Amino acid sequence: CGLLAGGGYAERVLLNEHLALPIPERMSYEQAAAIPEAFLTAFQALVWLAELQEGEAVLVHAGGSGVGTAAIQLARGLGARVYVTASEPKHPLCLELGADHAIDYRSEDFAAEIRRLTKGRGVQVILDFIGAAYLKQNLEALALDGRLVLLALMGGAKVPDFSLLPLLRKRLKLMGSTLRNRSLEYKIALTHAFKTFAWQGFADGTYRPVIDSVFPWTEVAQAHRRMEANLNQGKIVLRVGDE
């Protein structure tokens, strides 16, 4: 398995040898395929960007997604308290993976719930894939010196009537990142750091890729419909060929 420059819908791929990772023992090709993009994205956000520390609290949005399920496990491994937002059917999976509390974003105000759960302190780190729709609540949910890492813009890119005051008052850091436009040198260093940090954990069961479903690639449209309907819990994998 390995980190690709873009999409992986291909029978064969070409990548730098230093971006390739050995498949962990007793792991299938499908399971291994679910590791690189999800776990490296989560690792970069939590460890390299947010510098999450033992004893801190982190809020992971989209906790039932591929990156979300990876982030829960990595944050737990770092010794952090983990809160997630997810639809109610995905709560059992998030809790099983190590989340301390799951918040239903459809029926609860996650910022108010975080303040309640942390006795008003807030969380030190937030991983967000939503963007504009969550920004104001994210700033409310962050503690002093909190760090917000923005990884996607599923809820829009423009925030109306936005005040910068919380950034100053709470000394917040707002970071955005995508792996796709990182340099080869950065990706190689990230891959090596992640392997050192997590590979033994995959071998002993501390970490595991969460696979929602596996589709033959001739059924890619059905796989996309499942993802677009937000039904998946973890990664959707396409199998190339008969095996």
Residue 207, Ramachandran bin (φ over 0: left; ψ between -120 and 50: alpha; else beta) = beta
Cα 242 from Cα 106, distance rounded (Å)? 40
pLDDT tens sequence across 155-188 = 999 999 989 999 999 999 999 999 989 999 999 9
Residue 242 confidence (pLDDT): 64
Helix axes 132-141, 110-117, angle to 10 degrees: 20
Cα 87 from Cα 64, distance rounded (Å)? 8
**Tokens matching residue 100:** 């301390």
Instruction: Place 243 in a pLDDT band, splitting at 50, 70 and 90.
Output: low
Place of tokens 């420059």: 5
pLDDT tens sequence across 26-74 = 899 999 999 999 999 999 999 999 999 999 999 999 999 999 999 999 9
Domains by residue range for the chain, with CATH: 1-210 (3.40.50.720)
- Distances in Å between the alpha carbon of 61 and those of 31, 114, 132, 148? 23, 12, 13, 11
**Tokens matching residue 19:** 């971006």
Q: What is the pTM of this model?
A: 0.95
Residue 12 confidence (pLDDT): 83
Q: Mean pLDDT over residues 88-112, rounded?
A: 98
Which residues have CB under 8 Å from 140's CB, separation 6+? Answer: 111, 115, 122, 166
Which residues have CB under 8 Å from 94's CB, separation 6+? Answer: 63, 64, 68, 69, 72, 84, 86, 102
On whether the CB atoms of residues 122 and 114 are closer than 8 A, the answer is: yes
Q: Mean pLDDT over residues 131-138, rounded?
A: 97
Residue 178 confidence (pLDDT): 92
